[in-house]
Amino acid sequence: MKRFFTVLFGLFILNFSFAQMPALERVVPMFWWTNMVNPHLQLLVHGNKIADCKVQLKYKGVTLQKVNKVENPNYLFLDLWIDKNTKPGSFDIVFSAKGKKDLHYTYQLKQQDKSPNRIQGVTDKDLIYLIMPDRFSNGDTTNDRVAGMKDQTLNRDSMYYRHGGDLQGIINHLSYLKDLGVTAIWCTPMIENDMTHASYHGYAATDLYKIDPRFGTNKLYKTYVEKCHAMGLKVIKDVVHNHIGSEGWIMKDLPMKSWIHQWPNYTNTNYRDQPLMDIHASASDRKSQLDGWFVPSMPDVNQNNPYVQNYYIQNHIWWIEYAGIDGLRLDTYPYNDPAFMAKWAIALKAQFPHLSIFGETFVQTVAEQAFYAGGNRVNRGFDTHLPGVTDYALKSAIYEALNGKFSWDGGVSRLYETLSQDFLYKDPTCNSIFLDDHDVSRFYSVIGENFDKYKEGIGILLTMRGIPEIYYGTEIFMKNFDAPDGLVREDFKGGWAEDSANKFTAQGRTAKENDAFNYVKTLANFRKNSTTLQTGKLMQYVPEDGVYVYFRYDDKQTIMIIVNSNDTLKKLNTRRFSERMNGFTGAENVVTKEKISNIASLAFAAQSTTILKLNK
């Protein structure tokens, strides 16, 4: 018995000793590049008692300027200076503790990839297609469940369980998107979300440097971007600054309490964008907007913390340079710290001048959107350096044009009035414009499943200023209202081998679905080859009698768009539009190819958007 307790005590001492030994669990960024615009690099080092170690490195052109210790002894933040003449290569970072074996991390500095088709930017020349990867197509069934991950659900009958869609599924259908006329793909986040519940959506990140294994790998993501570029498609990455997942490694072992916003009692954000701009707002409301947690499972990141700032700036630079991403969509933009977001934007644009950025501003008015957009155009006294926003105000105006009754400020008048406020933006053509997305009711349902209104709305979207975006399945009448059941995030039929119909093919679509698909395809591909619809100027006319007319024009072409919101046919004398129509004698309908020899008087079907290419 005495020998037993002696052995047991020995094992206890051994385990205790191991627990006190420094360990190296991760270094991020895992590698970096030479000759970056900012020569400073801050490495986050995480491991048991790693702060007990001395740190050394030796590489020509690389200087270890400072070793930062923080509250948690399991972290070190290493400040490196990388001289502009430093050559690509590898070196060891050595962690030494008295009486312990040295720990080594081989750090690699790579050469930047200057290939011409990388980091191109997404502009008004493009058409974005929004995909929720878990709901689009399952191209690799072997990663549907990954051992060791918390969420092991796999049930396509529930909107809150995982369905199995992945990167390979998207890659398998790039030709479908190319045929449709899409030029850029925005996927909701594919970063690891190792959360117990509803991990499919991607907005509760648990490791910012890792693609979720149920979607694929970092290497496959890079391959996906390269394949897109090879096909003339651009890639937008969805990033979240505001919050992280509560079950991630960094939350389980915070570097410091101030990494996230701490409250005496749990405090939710008020989900308002107004307190920050409201001159009458209380300080407590502003604090709630910026520092309150999005939901209990998504802690609010403290962007005033300089270590947090470096972590996020470097993470996004890392992904862009690593994969060659063309643009970023910024989630929940109004809840972020304004000063940090401006600093972040300046840093990223300095490194990648062609990178496109647009922020999610889920608000109701043009003024609210302009407050967050760059340029200090609304007496804010501060420039956010945010080039574009998600134009929810325009979306609402288009819906009013389609569903509302024409009046002084109703129906198509709302659309006219909304566009008339574009002077509030530095550049409204940088805004992302859309009819629906993953957070709102689907377009086809909102318009009462009316095909005439469907064509009317798509016609407006694809001829309007800005960067148009189509939510996956809009082109085949996918429908449903936003509700707790999440039906706006249904699967794209044909993306799973067991599906009874394959909507990716004409044979799998109904005749009506093919009509919708072909309408979108016709307009999208016309737009893809029309500099006028991409970058041309816009001139609009005050709506009369429920008819709204606007023009897109440049030196090459003039296109006339007529929106008849009435439920009856309307005739239009075009004399009023002579400023834009002088010198033109005929027109061609962009969709039907009908030739019109006399444009002095025109007739337009009920509930229609007619798109005419004017001819001399």
**Active-site option among 192, 212, 326, 331:** 331
Do the Cβ atoms of 183 and 232 come closer than 8 Å?
yes
The amino acid present at 568, given as its one-letter code, is T
Give the residue from 520, 541, 582, 223 showing the smallest Cα distance to 413. 541
Hey, which residues does 502 pair with through a beta bridge?
Answer: none
Q: What is the 3-state secondary structure (H, E, C) of 553-578?
A: ECCCCEEEEEEECCCCCEEEEHHHHH
Determine the Cα–Cα distance for residues 367 and 377; give it in Å rounded to an integer: 10
Determine the Cα–Cα distance for residues 469 and 179; give it in Å rounded to an integer: 16
Give 17's DSSP letter.
H
Q: Is the dihedral of CA 262, 263, 266, 267 positive or negative?
A: negative
Do the Cβ atoms of 26 and 47 come closer than 8 Å?
yes
Give 135's DSSP letter.
G
For the chain, helix, strand, coil in percent to 5 are: 30, 20, 45
Give the residue from 87, 164, 180, 90 showing the smallest Cα distance to 128. 180
331 tagged catalytic: yes
Determine the Cα–Cα distance for residues 62 and 33; give it in Å rounded to an integer: 12
And the tokens for 417?
Answer: 């009035």
Determine the Cα–Cα distance for residues 540 and 327; give it in Å rounded to an integer: 30
Determine the Cα–Cα distance for residues 178 and 176; give it in Å rounded to an integer: 5
Determine the Cα–Cα distance for residues 454 and 433; give it in Å rounded to an integer: 16
C-alpha pair distances (Å), 563 with each of 429, 463, 540: 21, 11, 11
Strands (DSSP E) found in 15-153: 26-28, 32-33, 40-46, 54-57, 62-69, 75-82, 89-96, 103-110, 128-131
**Active-site option among 151, 166, 273, 360:** 360
360 tagged catalytic: yes
Alpha helices in 464-566 (DSSP H): 511-528, 531-535
Phi then psi for residue 162, to 5 deg, are -75, 145
Hey, which residues does 562 pair with through a beta bridge?
Answer: 549, 610
Phi then psi for residue 412, to 5 deg, are -65, -20
Secondary structure (3-state) at 2: helix
And the tokens for 111?
Answer: 């050469």
Give 474's DSSP letter.
G
The amino acid present at 421, given as its one-letter code, is Q
CA angle 45, 48, 53 (to 5 degrees): 65
Supply the residues annotated as catalytic. 331, 360
